[in-house]
Amino acid sequence: MYTWTAVPHDITQVPVALGICDDLEDAKDAVTPYVTSGRALAGIIRTVAVAMGTATLIRSYVPAGHAYLGRRTTDGAIRWETLDLMTSMDFFRNLQSRAKC
């Protein structure tokens, strides 16, 4: 499974949009319009596994593999880069500088 996030230009704000997909290509298709239109700084897709909370039995998603960073190119398309799984804080600290093409 894959979670996707359209990251706002001010990365301290809430995401522009987010979702969950069963397929990587579906996740890319979902986040791409936000990035290519300029509404989002970048798109992030993370491979996740479904986990169940032991105390609450609430389903959650745990990072389980690669992350993908989609950035807008100068011609308005999107370019995807495969990243090794990083902690969320490191990922977001590096996002703003990496998201510029």
What are the pLDDT digits (tens) for 4-52? 999 999 888 999 999 999 999 999 999 999 999 999 999 999 999 888 7
State how far the Cα of 32 lies from the Cα of 37, in Å rounded to an integer.
Answer: 8
Report which of residues 83 and 84 the model is more confident about: 83
- Average pLDDT rounded to a whole number, residues 72-95: 75
Q: Which of 86, 76, 84, 97 is nearest to 32 (CA)?
A: 76
Q: Which of 94, 101, 95 is nearest to 36 (CA)?
A: 101
State how far the Cα of 15 lies from the Cα of 43, in Å rounded to an integer.
Answer: 10
Residue-level pLDDT at 93: 61
pLDDT at residue 97 is higher than 70: no
- Average pLDDT rounded to a whole number, residues 61-90: 82
Residue-level pLDDT at 11: 82
Residues 6+ apart with CB under 8 A from 21: 1, 2, 4, 27, 30
Asked if 70 contacts 80 with a C-beta cutoff of 8 angstroms, the reply is: yes
Whether the predicted model's global pTM rises above the 0.85 cut: no
Q: Which of 14, 18, 16, 22 is nearest to 5 (CA)?
A: 18
